[in-house]
Amino acid sequence: MTTTFDPADGDRALQLDSSHVFHSWSAQGALNPMVIAGGAGSEVWDFAGNRYLDFSSQLVNTNIGHQHPKVIAGIKAQADVLATVAPAHANLTRGEAARRVLEAAGPAFSKVFFTNGGADANENAVRLARLVTGRDKVLSTYRSYHGNTGAAIVATGDWRRMPNEYARGHVHFFGPFLYRSEFWAETPEQESERALHHLRRVVQAEGPGTIAAILLETVPGTAGVLVPPPGYLEGVRALCDEYGILLILDEVMAGFGRTGEWFAFHGSGVTPDLVTFAKGVNSGYVPAGGVVIPPAIAEVFDERVFPGGLTYSGHPLAMGAIVATIDAMREEGIVENARAIGAEHLAPGLEALAERHPLIGEVRGLGVFWALDLVTDRATREPVAPAVVGALKTELLKRGLLPFVADNRLHVVPPCIVTADEVSRALEIYDEAFTAVAAAV
């Protein structure tokens, strides 16, 4: 795609941003954000014409890539018919979007409550769990991120919850992470067994009769793409069943192709009680999220008022984007592409990269959902300093790749439409960048 831009527009965008935009998770005075002028597929570009492979998928959400023509057409077609409608009304596109989400989720589910994004999806899943069980507490892991609204941010385990702990009834525990095990485990089986024992003891110590839900990211994303070891999710499901606790799986980042499945839980053999989603359902083209609900929970509210709602729940433009996204993903085999790219290109390519670069302590992931754990020493597994990650990001940008970095990690998270050639090009860039950083350390 050939596009002409005026560099002066880039300068103006940066000036306007600096003067008027208040950014999330940032000290405002130190910001110098990258200005993105446009994008297509797996690439974005700036106003100076510099092009970048987007191996961040922005915030790991552009699963179908940038400016997919079928999704853009779906949004335009809906805008021509009805640009907005209150959630109390029935709307054809909303119904079609719900049907497609349920087809992707599987036969255990019957209804979708639409939200504006992932955080309020988790808020409403927690609300449903508390109302249905009559209990209050919600258990979630320390290595997690569930969003930045009242209950969602307190359910989050990382540092971002600490200035925001206003919601009640949240308890945290350690989930499995063999590479940095909290349980002195040496094998995936030990890690799973010991993490499940730890969770059981937390449940017992908190009082099972007080716990409404256990909320887990099926594959924790921002925390490091922590693929659960064999048996862990099955063990959590069994523990929930034993104590009458609802299992909520947060698929906001892991869903809609990211792991090479429509939903990550499909690869686990476990069916949750509630599923939350957002991001990949329409690649963020129009904000949308939701909660997937089974009949047993939906029917509780046949005669009982559900005390929750959003002005833009099931917004028609977002619904048009969902319909078009899911249809395109099915027609073009995009979920299957993500699975194949992960198995045939990213997994072996990243392992080969790790063999050449001692900075990479571990490679983990599946589909188009990977993380490189960066260390100063492979024996001690000491994380690299923030300056090293910053230098790596700089080197990657210089070479035309937009990365996703978090803590001591480089996340490799391209769109689900990424090609083998694009992965090959990215691997060459990663190799060059690691070589440059190692030479400077």
User: In the prediction, which pLDDT does 204 show?
Assistant: 98
What pLDDT shows up at residue 2? 52
Last residue of one domain, picked from the residues 331, 349, 370: 331
CA separation for the pair 139, 291 (Å, rounded)? 18
The verdict on 403 and 434 lying in the same domain is: yes
- Entry field: residues in the chain: 441
CB 141 within 8 A of CB 216: yes
pLDDT tens, residue by residue, 132-164: 999 999 999 999 999 999 999 999 999 999 999
State pLDDT tens for residues 392-402.
999 999 999 99
How far is Cα 439 from Cα 253, in angstroms, rounded to an integer? 34
What is the pLDDT averaged over residues 349-372? 98
Whether 37 is covered by a domain: the verdict is yes
pLDDT band (50, 70, 90) for residue 44? very high
**Domain presence at residue 228:** yes
Report the pLDDT value the prediction gives residue 3, as an integer from 0 to 100: 64
Please count the CA atoms within 13 angstroms of the CA of 229 that sit on its side-chain side. Answer: 18
| Boundary of a domain, candidates 286, 304, 331 | 331
Q: Which whole-number Å values give the CA distances from 50 to 10, 44, 64, in the listed order?
A: 12, 9, 22
Is 2 a domain residue?
Answer: no
DSSP letter for 44, please: E
CB 371 within 8 A of CB 225: yes
User: Does the structure show a pLDDT above 90 at 235?
Assistant: yes
Same domain, 266 and 126: yes
- 342 belongs to a structural domain: yes
pLDDT in the model for residue 4? 73
> Of 297, 331, 365, which residue is a domain's last?
331
Buried-state track 377-392, b at ≥16 Cβ within 10 A, e below 16: eeeeeebbeeebbebb
The answer on 222 and 116 residing in a single domain is yes
CATH number at residue 122: 3.40.640.10
Please report whether residue 362 resides in a domain: yes
Q: Are 82 and 151 part of one and the same domain? A: yes
Question: Are 313 and 327 contacting, i.e. CB atoms less than 8 angstroms apart?
Answer: no
Determine contact, residues 33/10, Cβ cutoff 8 Å.
no
Q: Are residues 381 and 250 in the same domain?
A: no
**The pLDDT of residue 5:** 83
124 in the same domain as 53: no
Which tokens belong to 310?
């959003």
In a domain, 1, yes or no: no
What is the predicted pLDDT for the residue at 440? 84
- State whether 225 and 100 are in the same domain: yes
pLDDT (0 to 100) of residue 25 = 93
Three-class secondary structure of residue 34 per DSSP = coil
Count of structural domains within the chain: 2
The average pLDDT across 277-305 equals 98
292 lies in some domain: yes
Taking only the tens place, the pLDDT of each residue in 95-136 is: 999 999 999 999 999 999 999 999 999 999 999 999 999 999
Residue 64 · residue 416 · CB < 8 Å: yes
- In this predicted structure, the answer to whether residue 81 has a pLDDT above a threshold of 60 is yes
User: What does the pLDDT read at residue 170?
Assistant: 98
Q: Are 55 and 413 in contact (CB under 8 A)?
A: yes
The CATH number linked to 351 is 3.90.1150.10
In terms of domains, do 217 and 199 share one? yes
Q: Clarify whether residues 253 and 319 are in a common domain.
A: yes
Q: Are residues 96 and 145 part of one domain?
A: yes
- Mean pLDDT of all residues belonging to the chain: 97
pLDDT digits (tens, 9 = 90+) for 347-358: 999 999 999 999
> Domain residues for 59?
7-67+333-440
Indicate whether 1 pLDDT > 60: no
Query: Judging by beta carbons within 10 Å of its beta carbon (0-12, 13-18, 19+), is residue 80 exposed, middle or buried?
Result: exposed
- 397 domain residue, yes or no: yes
Q: Are residues 184 and 262 located together in one domain of the fold?
A: yes
What tokens does 100 get? 């497609």
Is residue 301 located within the same domain as residue 382?
no
> Which structure tokens are listed for 278?
């957002």
